[in-house]
Structures are given as structure tokens and as C-alpha cells.
Structure 1
Amino acid sequence: MRKETDTQVVSVWVRDPRIRKNDFWHAYIDYEICLHTDSVCFTKKISSVRRRFSEFVWLRQKLQANAMLMVRPPQLPPKNLFFSLNNAQQITERMKGLQQFLEQTLQNPLLLSDSCLHLFLQSELSVARMEACAAGRTHYSVAQAVQSCGLRRFHSEEELQKELMSCDSDSDCSECPGLRIKDLAINKVQSAPSLGLMGSSEEETLSCSCGST
């Protein structure tokens, strides 16, 4: 959705839910987060990353801790003990709630200045790596971590922008091509050595492999 402050625009989409299988018994859903902006607050003006619900929970906790009592971060959609990976309605409702959370977060100048938010939106660092980077415990900066990560499933910024602009911001998000639950892709999570994407590598490198999934 499109948000304007003065002449600066920040557009964010949560879309394309995909089932990821850790093993035969364990699976989860992650979502694509597309960002398109001309705001000076962002190092990259266009980006696409994937995040799961538990990472959204982490982000809110960090925003609340960093903002202390100055501002209360928006609410996330509530956890559902009966959430099913096969329930399209539940997935759609959660996805809408996650998008509302990001939209409201990006409207707050104090939250917008938080390094954890920028790493969450525009890098593929694991939670542990995001925490370390935001705290200055890595040899790369927040800006370097963001710049090192390319677009996931688009070959160019123009391609991503074209797809984003084709989705009417006023329409029901279920109508957007990237949000069709029937297109859920079942993929096994593959560990990546770059920047500790899944927290599986001890190497700290700036070559972020963001191939299509």
C-alpha cells in the first residue's frame, strides 16, 4: 500500500505466501515483503525479501524495546493455536494483518528510524544477525547489509516496479496476483552461507545470495 509524507512515498506489500518444509514433520509459511520508496530514510529504494511470522514477532519486540515508552508499535495479527497451513482464509487474514502492521509502523517517524526495521525489510539476515548488526557487532554496517542483498525473484528493479504498480492499492489484496493462495509453492528451506540467512553459518560475508525461490 502507498503512504505519502510530504512528497516522499513509501509503498509496502505483503504477498505471495509459500509453505517451507524444514523436514517431513515441520513446515511454516513465509511471505514476500516488497518495498518501493523514494524516501531518504531508506538506503535502497526498491527491494523484495521473505519473512515468516516469528520474525514479525521479533521485529515488534525490538521496536517496542528500542522505542521504550515513547511510542507503542502497532499490533500484529493475533496468534492462532489452530492456524493451519492448509487454510487459505487463515493465511489471507494473517497476511492482511501483517501488511497493516508494516503500513502503520512506516507511518511513525520514530519507528522508521530503527535499524532493526530496515534490516528486516531490506536484508535477508537471520534474527541473530540482525540483532548483531543493529548493535554494531558485525564488520558490516546496516547500510552495507541492505545494499549487499539483491532482488529475490525479479531480474531488475524495473520488473519489480512494473508488477507492484499493476496491483491496485485500493483493491482487496486477495485480487493481487502475488496473493493467490492456490499458487502456494511448497519448497524445502535450503541453508545459505551468506550473512547467516538461516542462522546456519558462522561466516560473515557481504555476498548475499538472493536467488529466486
Structure 2
Amino acid sequence: MTKETDRTENQQVISVWVRDPRMQKNDFWHAYIDYEICLHTDSVCFTKKISQVRRRYSEFVWLRRKLQANSLLMVHVPGLPPKNPFFSLNNARQITDRMKGLQKFLEQVLQNPLLLSDSCLHLFLQSQLSVPMIEACAAGRTHYSVVQAVQRCGLRRFHSEEDLHNNLKISCDSDSDSSEGRDPEHKIKDLEASSLDLIETSQEEEPSCLPRST
């Protein structure tokens, strides 16, 4: 009985919610829905114990593909709510169902120790980096570390106007999938220059469960 209680008390908690869907407009003709991801945890695997970021469906699609690729097929990554060709930004039921499916996906991902060690997952959940910059940071191709990017969460996204424009061209509707292509090195350096003023030069050591590169 005592051992059971001790095991329960020592168990680390990771709670995640996907909520607050909001319509965002690229321009007059194109719009999409993004969702707030709230994470509360006492796990030593996370740099921040409380965080909030906003992500759209296509970014979840990218994350799932990335997790599957990085795990080298050693685990089965949970599924996402399926892409719906008839998804409507004005259909509250469809939006709610998708939101619930995205939360279930994250809950299942966070239960897997192997997936939990992926830097891309941590940057997705706890940084304001765009998808191309998540890939660059996780691969060690930025002047700031994974921990530093997470610590600066809450400031504006680390990308330039050019990056924003190109991201919008990649995906112009709420159901489109993100491109997996990486930016050329010179473009990443340009993006870094726009974000260096937001990054602290702290040399804080990263948690052991956060790899420095994928």
C-alpha cells in the first residue's frame, strides 16, 4: 500500500489542452483556424512547466510526420483527426471535433518516452518558432539552442517578413499540409538575424531528455 502511494506521488504529470479555436486571415480570400495549446507539467523533461502556443492543423500534420521520421519507425505515432475536404471554417461542430482529435493526439504522444525525447515536439509545444525554424533549431543550425527558444516563448515568432510570406504561400487553407522542404542555409541565416535580439545568451544546460539535434 505504501509503495503504491509512493509511486503515485512520484509520478510526473503532463497535462495538455487544445482549445480556443480562432480564425486567422492570410488575406481577403484565404483564412484558417488555429488552436491554443496549453501545457502544464512537473516533468523534468520540460524546460517550462506552463506554456501556451498557437498552432494550426497543417503544423500538426508536419509534427506527426517529423516524429515518425525521427523515431526511425521504432514506434507507431498516434493518428490525427483525418483531413476533411469539406472542412468548413463556419462549421462549429467540425472545428470542435477536430480540436478534440488534436488534443487526443498530443495526449497519446506525450505518453511515449521515445517521442517525448524529440526536440521538435518540445519546440512545437513550447516555442513560437515557425516550422522551418523548428527544423533548423532541432538540427543545431541556429545560433540559439532548443532551451533558449523555449525560454523566449511568449514573444513574437522568430521569423522575418519574408519567412511569413513564404509560409503563407506553402499553405493557404485550413486543411493543407505543411511542406517538409527545408530552407536553404542562407535563408535560415537571414531568419536568425531577425531573431537574435530575442534570444538570451544563457549557457543553461538542456535537460537530458531533450536531444541537441535530431
Do the structures match in fold with TM over 0.5? yes
Rounded Cα–Cα distance in structure 2 between residues aligned with 1:147 and 1:95:
26
Contact persistence 1:67–1:111 (CA under 8 A): yes
Give unmatched runs, 5+ long, in structure 2.
1-7, 165-189, 200-214
State the match for 1:83 in structure 2. Answer: 87
Asked if residue 128 in structure 1 is aligned to residue 114 in structure 2, the reply is no
Rounded Cα–Cα distance in structure 1 between residues aligned with 2:160 and 2:76:
29
- Whichever of the two has the greater Rg, that structure is 2
Rounded Cα–Cα distance in structure 1 between residues aligned with 2:69 and 2:141:
18
State the match for 2:152 in structure 1. Answer: 148
State the match for 1:8 in structure 2. Answer: 12
Given the two structures, how large is their TM-score scaled by the length of structure 2?
0.73
Give unmatched runs, 5+ long, in structure 1.
153-191, 209-213
Taking a change above 3 Å as real, the CA distance of residues 137 and 5 of structure 1, as seen in their structure-2 partners, is farther
Asked if residue 114 in structure 1 is aligned to residue 118 in structure 2, the reply is yes
Residue 93 of structure 1 aligns to which amino acid in structure 2? D
SS in 1 for 2:198: coil
Greater percentage in strand:
1
Report deviation, 1:205.
Answer: 2.2
Given the two structures, how large is their TM-score scaled by the length of structure 1?
0.73
Rounded Cα–Cα distance in structure 1 between residues aligned with 2:160 and 2:17:
21
Rounded Cα–Cα distance in structure 1 between residues aligned with 2:25 and 2:66:
27
Question: Deviation digits for residues 97-144 of structure 1, max 9, x if unmatched?
Answer: 000000000000000000000000000100000000000000000000
Question: Which one of the candidate residues 41, 64, 88 is aligned to 1:37?
Answer: 41
Report deviation, 1:15.
Answer: 0.0
Rounded Cα–Cα distance in structure 1 between residues aligned with 2:153 and 2:83:
30
Counterparts of residues 30-109 of structure 1 (less than 5 Å) = 30-109=34-113
Residue 103 of structure 2 aligns to which amino acid in structure 1? Q
Aligned length: 164
State the match for 1:196 in structure 2. Answer: 159
Greater percentage in helix:
2
